[in-house]
């Protein structure tokens, strides 16, 4: 009978690497989603259960990124059987950490394991993107890093447009997610439709410095370039309470920068080393707690490998 059940983990990710809006993404070691997949006789994917979402995610297979991605993969593989998915949400919804992408990626990696690994990680990307498209359009800024790991340069949806970038030594992140939800659609609606040519030149220059710094392994230059965002962050800063205070607190605690993760409200601060990242996470947590805003704060690192199979039975 072969494999009856397979489980996979897919990590959180930051789709906007600071100034590199829709161009560079990164996978975090944690948190992440876990999906367990089992065969069922009927065709198509269904959701058996969801834990950790506070009852907010849809069970309807047409409305959940995990099942949409799963069905895309089942079609691609030409499978007549279907799958039943059990979803453990490890990362918060609408938080700027690529929640919908992580669910799509975990589903697809679990089903690929269930089917005996017919496809490579890279070949799984189209199905992940089909799932992600349900929420935020056909763009691999979160699904790419969550699936493949590392820091990824993403210039289009085709695989040849996704390149792994070198990861600077000692790169750590402090993340804080204040207790409020920001929808990607709402955050996108705040963006300007057009930008002045001068601002575009400044943005391209900053992205060029960022890519240069990544290749040189220069953590400080990388962090500095990430913060040179004159377009996206100013448009969205109103969505994030205490953004300026958080940046100041993070830097006082030793962070090299602080940027909005994706559409927010998660904030990510680049730090050199575990100790600093822990201190910065604590400072960010204390800031929001002190202001009466609940939050989750943690220190993490880059997920080098991205999504992974946890168990096969």
Catalytic residue among 38, 65, 67, 132: 132
Min dist CB 128 to a copy of itself, Å, is 19
Min dist CB 193 to a copy of itself, Å, is 6
Q: Which is nearer to a copy of itself, 66 or 165 (CB)?
A: 165
The yes-or-no answer on residue 313 being catalytic is no
Residues lying near a copy of itself in the complex (CB under 8 A) are found at: 20-24, 153-156, 163, 165, 191-197, 200-201, 203-212, 215, 231
Q: Which is nearer to a copy of itself, 80 or 160 (CB)?
A: 160
Q: Say how far apart CA 74 and CA 112 lie, in whole Å.
A: 9
- Nearest CA to 173 among 258, 97, 232? 258
The yes-or-no answer on residue 132 being catalytic is yes
Q: Are 231 and 192 in contact (CB under 8 A)?
A: yes
Q: Which is nearer to a copy of itself, 216 or 252 (CB)?
A: 216
Neighbour-count burial for 16-27, b at 16+ CB within 10 Å, e otherwise: bbbbbbebbbbb
- Nearest CA to 9 among 147, 187, 180? 147
Q: Say how far apart CA 112 and CA 262 lie, in whole Å.
A: 28
Q: Which is nearer to a copy of itself, 7 or 207 (CB)?
A: 207
Min dist CB 97 to a copy of itself, Å, is 21
Min dist CB 74 to a copy of itself, Å, is 32
User: Which residues are catalytic, by number?
Assistant: 132, 184
């Amino acid at each position: 009978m072969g494999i009856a059940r397979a489980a996979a983990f897919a990590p959180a990710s930051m789709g906007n690497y600071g100034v590199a809006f829709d161009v560079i993404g990164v996978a975090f070691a944690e948190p992440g989603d876990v999906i367990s997949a089992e065969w069922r006789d009927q065709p198509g994917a269904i959701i058996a259960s969801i834990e950790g979402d506070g009852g907010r995610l849809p069970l309807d297979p047409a409305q959940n990124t995990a099942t949409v991605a799963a069905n895309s993969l089942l079609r691609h593989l030409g499978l007549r059987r279907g799958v039943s998915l059990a979803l453990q949400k490890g990362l918060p919804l609408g938080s700027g950490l690529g929640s919908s992408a992580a669910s799509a990626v975990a589903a697809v990696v679990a089903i690929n394991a269930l089917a005996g690994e017919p496809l490579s990680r890279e070949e799984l990307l189209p199905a992940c993107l089909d799932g992600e498209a349900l929420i935020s359009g056909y763009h691999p800024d979160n699904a790419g890093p969550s699936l493949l790991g590392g820091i990824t340069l993403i210039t289009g949806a085709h695989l040849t447009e996704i390149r792994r970038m070198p990861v600077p030594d000692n790169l750590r992140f402090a993340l804080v997610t204040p207790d409020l939800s920001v929808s990607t659609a709402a955050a996108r609606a705040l963006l300007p439709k057009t930008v002045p040519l001068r601002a575009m030149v400044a943005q391209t220059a900053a992205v060029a410095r960022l890519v240069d710094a990544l290749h040189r392994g220069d953590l400080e230059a990388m962090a500095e370039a990430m913060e040179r965002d004159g377009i996206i962050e100013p448009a969205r800063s109103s969505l994030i309470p205490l953004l300026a205070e958080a940046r100041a607190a993070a830097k006082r605690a030793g962070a090299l920068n602080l940027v909005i993760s994706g559409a927010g409200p998660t904030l990510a601060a680049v730090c050199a080393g575990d100790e600093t990242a822990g201190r910065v996470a604590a400072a960010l947590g204390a800031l929001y707690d002190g202001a009466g805003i609940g939050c989750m704060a943690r220190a993490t690192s880059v997920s080098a490998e991205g999504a992974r199979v946890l168990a096969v039975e």
